[in-house]
């Protein structure tokens, strides 16, 4: 009984180490430098869409004044983040920076993958 308990304990301790020892998960896509360059260019080009999108989202969730003030500020901020992530992707596309699998720096990967406004 002691031997079985020790074996079970050892199995439970060692198994997670093997389960996490892969470069990628089964659900993660492996990106090439071309994918990274394309994603960067698209994010730089579509970064102004974040401004209009946030104004629309904030106006739909609250009111028009809130959308054109707070939504505008959020949109400019998110647009700058998307532009910066796109620029970093373009500049570092041939390198394994910042991650070895060249995955996206921000989520969602593209501006059109965000959920839309919630209408009541």
pLDDT (tens digit, 9 = 90+) per residue, 24-63? 555 667 888 899 999 999 999 999 999 999 999 999 999 9
Task: Tell me what percent of the residues of the chain surpass a pLDDT of 70.
Answer: 71
**Global pTM value:** 0.70
Classify burial at 71, counting beta carbons within 10 Å of its beta carbon; exposed 0-12, middle 13-18, buried 19 or more.
buried
The gap from C-alpha 76 to its chain's centroid, in whole angstroms, comes to 18
For the cut 60, the answer to whether the pLDDT of residue 69 exceeds it is yes
For the cut 70, the answer to whether the pLDDT of residue 5 exceeds it is no
In the structure, what pLDDT confidence band is assigned to residue 17 with cuts at 50, 70 and 90?
Answer: very low
């Amino acid at each position: 009984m002691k031997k079985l308990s020790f074996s079970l304990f050892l199995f439970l301790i060692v198994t997670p180490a093997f389960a996490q020892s892969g470069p990628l998960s089964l659900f993660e896509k492996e990106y090439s430098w071309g994918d990274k360059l394309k994603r960067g260019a698209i994010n730089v080009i579509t970064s102004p869409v974040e401004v209009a999108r946030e104004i629309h989202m904030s106006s739909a969730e609250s009111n028009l004044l809130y959308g054109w003030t707070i939504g505008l500020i959020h949109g400019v901020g998110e647009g700058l983040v998307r532009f910066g992530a796109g620029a970093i992707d373009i500049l570092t596309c041939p390198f394994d920076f910042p991650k070895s699998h060249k995955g996206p720096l921000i989520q969602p990967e593209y501006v059109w993958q965000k959920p839309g406004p919630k209408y009541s």
